[in-house]
Amino acid sequence: MPHPPDYQFCPYDGSSLVPGNTAPPVRPACPRCGFVEYRNAVACATFFILQGGRVLLARRGVSPAKGEWDILGGFVDENESIEEAVRRETREEIGLAVESVEYLGSIPDVYGPRRNPVINLYFLVQTEEGDPVAASDVASVEWFALDALPQQMAFPNQKRAFDLLLQRLARS
Ligand SMILES: [Zn+2]
Protein backbone atom coordinates (compact mmCIF):
# COMPACT_ATOMS: atom_id res chain seq x y z
CA MET A 1 0.00 0.00 0.00
CA PRO A 2 1.49 3.39 -0.95
CA HIS A 3 2.05 5.91 1.80
CA PRO A 4 -0.53 8.72 1.94
CA PRO A 5 1.18 12.11 1.93
CA ASP A 6 1.68 13.79 5.31
CA TYR A 7 0.64 17.16 3.87
CA GLN A 8 -1.84 18.31 1.23
CA PHE A 9 -0.76 21.91 1.75
CA CYS A 10 2.62 23.51 2.31
CA PRO A 11 3.22 23.77 6.10
CA TYR A 12 5.06 27.09 5.51
CA ASP A 13 2.75 29.07 3.18
CA GLY A 14 -0.42 26.98 2.68
CA SER A 15 -0.01 26.43 -1.07
CA SER A 16 -1.45 23.21 -2.50
CA LEU A 17 1.35 20.68 -2.95
CA VAL A 18 2.03 19.22 -6.40
CA PRO A 19 4.14 16.22 -7.47
CA GLY A 20 7.73 17.45 -7.13
CA ASN A 21 9.24 14.91 -9.51
CA THR A 22 8.13 12.22 -11.95
CA ALA A 23 10.22 9.12 -11.13
CA PRO A 24 9.13 7.17 -8.03
CA PRO A 25 9.16 7.84 -5.16
CA VAL A 26 7.12 10.91 -6.15
CA ARG A 27 7.54 13.60 -3.49
CA PRO A 28 4.89 16.29 -2.93
CA ALA A 29 6.42 19.75 -3.30
CA CYS A 30 5.37 23.39 -2.88
CA PRO A 31 5.35 25.34 -6.15
CA ARG A 32 5.78 28.62 -4.22
CA CYS A 33 8.61 28.11 -1.67
CA GLY A 34 10.22 24.84 -2.74
CA PHE A 35 9.26 22.77 0.33
CA VAL A 36 9.55 19.03 -0.47
CA GLU A 37 7.91 16.30 1.61
CA TYR A 38 10.59 13.60 1.61
CA ARG A 39 9.01 11.10 4.03
CA ASN A 40 12.43 9.84 5.05
CA ALA A 41 12.40 6.99 7.56
CA VAL A 42 12.63 7.79 11.27
CA ALA A 43 15.28 5.74 13.13
CA CYS A 44 14.07 3.33 15.81
CA ALA A 45 16.56 1.73 18.24
CA THR A 46 15.23 -1.75 18.93
CA PHE A 47 16.87 -4.47 21.00
CA PHE A 48 16.89 -7.99 22.39
CA ILE A 49 18.01 -8.93 25.89
CA LEU A 50 18.73 -12.59 26.61
CA GLN A 51 18.84 -14.52 29.87
CA GLY A 52 19.24 -18.29 30.18
CA GLY A 53 18.27 -18.86 26.55
CA ARG A 54 15.15 -16.71 26.78
CA VAL A 55 14.45 -13.31 25.24
CA LEU A 56 12.72 -10.37 26.92
CA LEU A 57 9.63 -9.00 25.15
CA ALA A 58 7.27 -6.18 26.11
CA ARG A 59 3.50 -5.82 26.21
CA ARG A 60 2.70 -2.42 24.65
CA GLY A 61 1.07 0.08 27.00
CA VAL A 62 0.27 2.70 24.35
CA SER A 63 -1.27 2.95 20.87
CA PRO A 64 -0.66 1.92 18.14
CA ALA A 65 -1.00 -1.82 18.75
CA LYS A 66 -1.67 -1.30 22.47
CA GLY A 67 -1.69 -4.61 24.34
CA GLU A 68 0.27 -6.50 21.68
CA TRP A 69 3.68 -8.12 22.16
CA ASP A 70 6.51 -5.84 21.09
CA ILE A 71 10.28 -5.80 20.95
CA LEU A 72 11.85 -3.31 23.39
CA GLY A 73 13.00 0.01 21.97
CA GLY A 74 11.94 3.42 20.79
CA PHE A 75 12.52 6.32 18.44
CA VAL A 76 15.90 8.01 18.34
CA ASP A 77 15.78 11.59 19.66
CA GLU A 78 17.23 14.67 18.02
CA ASN A 79 21.01 14.94 18.64
CA GLU A 80 21.18 11.37 20.00
CA SER A 81 23.26 8.49 18.65
CA ILE A 82 21.59 5.13 18.04
CA GLU A 83 23.71 3.63 20.84
CA GLU A 84 22.64 6.40 23.23
CA ALA A 85 19.01 5.72 22.30
CA VAL A 86 19.48 2.01 23.14
CA ARG A 87 20.91 2.93 26.56
CA ARG A 88 18.19 5.51 27.27
CA GLU A 89 15.32 3.25 26.18
CA THR A 90 16.66 0.32 28.20
CA ARG A 91 16.79 2.53 31.30
CA GLU A 92 13.35 4.03 30.61
CA GLU A 93 11.51 0.85 29.70
CA ILE A 94 12.96 -1.75 32.12
CA GLY A 95 15.10 0.24 34.58
CA LEU A 96 18.44 -1.46 33.83
CA ALA A 97 21.80 -0.05 32.69
CA VAL A 98 23.35 -1.31 29.44
CA GLU A 99 26.78 -2.96 29.52
CA SER A 100 27.24 -3.80 25.84
CA VAL A 101 25.48 -3.20 22.52
CA GLU A 102 25.96 -5.34 19.39
CA TYR A 103 24.36 -4.41 16.07
CA LEU A 104 22.34 -7.18 14.38
CA GLY A 105 20.78 -5.50 11.32
CA SER A 106 17.96 -3.23 10.17
CA ILE A 107 14.43 -3.76 8.85
CA PRO A 108 12.11 -1.06 7.43
CA ASP A 109 8.46 -0.84 8.49
CA VAL A 110 5.67 1.71 8.88
CA TYR A 111 4.25 3.11 12.13
CA GLY A 112 0.88 4.44 13.20
CA PRO A 113 -2.29 5.38 11.33
CA ARG A 114 -0.39 7.60 8.90
CA ARG A 115 1.95 4.71 8.06
CA ASN A 116 5.02 6.84 8.69
CA PRO A 117 8.19 5.17 7.43
CA VAL A 118 10.48 3.78 10.12
CA ILE A 119 13.85 2.06 9.96
CA ASN A 120 14.26 -0.36 12.87
CA LEU A 121 17.89 -0.88 13.89
CA TYR A 122 18.18 -4.09 15.88
CA PHE A 123 20.72 -4.77 18.62
CA LEU A 124 21.64 -7.51 21.04
CA VAL A 125 22.04 -5.83 24.43
CA GLN A 126 23.73 -7.00 27.62
CA THR A 127 22.42 -5.25 30.75
CA GLU A 128 23.61 -5.08 34.32
CA GLU A 129 22.24 -7.82 36.56
CA GLY A 130 18.78 -7.29 37.96
CA ASP A 131 15.13 -7.92 37.26
CA PRO A 132 13.58 -5.83 34.47
CA VAL A 133 10.71 -3.65 35.69
CA ALA A 134 8.27 -2.41 33.03
CA ALA A 135 7.87 1.37 32.84
CA SER A 136 7.29 4.21 30.38
CA ASP A 137 5.26 2.98 27.37
CA VAL A 138 5.71 -0.70 28.36
CA ALA A 139 2.80 -2.30 30.26
CA SER A 140 4.67 -5.49 31.24
CA VAL A 141 7.63 -7.62 30.23
CA GLU A 142 8.02 -11.37 29.94
CA TRP A 143 10.82 -13.84 29.11
CA PHE A 144 10.12 -16.09 26.11
CA ALA A 145 11.91 -19.29 25.09
CA LEU A 146 13.42 -18.83 21.62
CA ASP A 147 11.41 -21.80 20.30
CA ALA A 148 8.14 -20.46 21.76
CA LEU A 149 8.04 -16.83 20.58
CA PRO A 150 4.63 -15.09 20.24
CA GLN A 151 2.82 -15.81 16.96
CA GLN A 152 1.27 -12.34 16.94
CA MET A 153 3.56 -9.28 17.22
CA ALA A 154 2.74 -5.56 17.22
CA PHE A 155 4.49 -4.76 13.91
CA PRO A 156 4.97 -6.82 10.73
CA ASN A 157 8.79 -6.50 10.65
CA GLN A 158 9.22 -8.12 14.05
CA LYS A 159 8.96 -11.73 12.88
CA ARG A 160 11.89 -11.02 10.54
CA ALA A 161 13.68 -9.42 13.48
CA PHE A 162 13.47 -12.72 15.34
CA ASP A 163 15.28 -14.27 12.36
CA LEU A 164 18.08 -11.69 12.77
CA LEU A 165 18.44 -12.74 16.41
CA LEU A 166 18.30 -16.48 15.72
CA GLN A 167 20.85 -16.18 12.89
CA ARG A 168 23.20 -14.27 15.22
CA LEU A 169 22.84 -16.89 17.96
CA ALA A 170 23.44 -19.71 15.48
CA ARG A 171 26.88 -18.15 14.72
CA SER A 172 28.05 -18.03 18.36
ZN1 LIG B 1 5.54 26.55 0.41
How do residues 124-164 score in pLDDT, each as one tens digit?
999 999 999 999 889 999 999 999 999 999 999 999 999 99
Q: Residue 2 above 70 pLDDT?
A: no
Per DSSP, 153 falls in state B
d(CA 107, CA 26): 22
Q: What does the pLDDT average to over 86-103?
A: 96
Which carries the bigger pLDDT value, residue 137 or residue 44? 44
pLDDT at 152: 94
pLDDT at 1: 45
Q: What does the pLDDT average to over 51-75?
A: 95
Q: What does the pLDDT average to over 77-105?
A: 96
For residues 37 and 17, the answer to whether their CB atoms sit within 8 Å is yes
Contacts (Cβ under 8 Å, ≥6 apart) of 141: 56, 57, 58, 59, 72, 94, 132, 133, 134
Query: For residue 3, how far is its CA from the centre of ligand 1 (angstroms)?
Result: 21
Query: For residue 32, how far is its CA from the centre of ligand 1 (angstroms)?
Result: 5
Query: For residue 58, how far is its CA from the centre of ligand 1 (angstroms)?
Result: 42
pTM above 0.85, yes or no: yes
Per DSSP, the residues of 7-71 read -SB-TTT-PBPEE--SSSSP-EE-TTT--B---PPEEEEEEEEEETTEEEEEEE-SSSSTTSEE-
How crowded is residue 134: how many other Cβ atoms within 10 Å of its Cβ? 17
Residue 7: band (very low, low, confident or very high) from pLDDT cuts 50, 70, 90: confident
Residue 4: band (very low, low, confident or very high) from pLDDT cuts 50, 70, 90: low
pLDDT at 5: 64
Query: For residue 31, how far is its CA from the centre of ligand 1 (angstroms)?
Result: 7
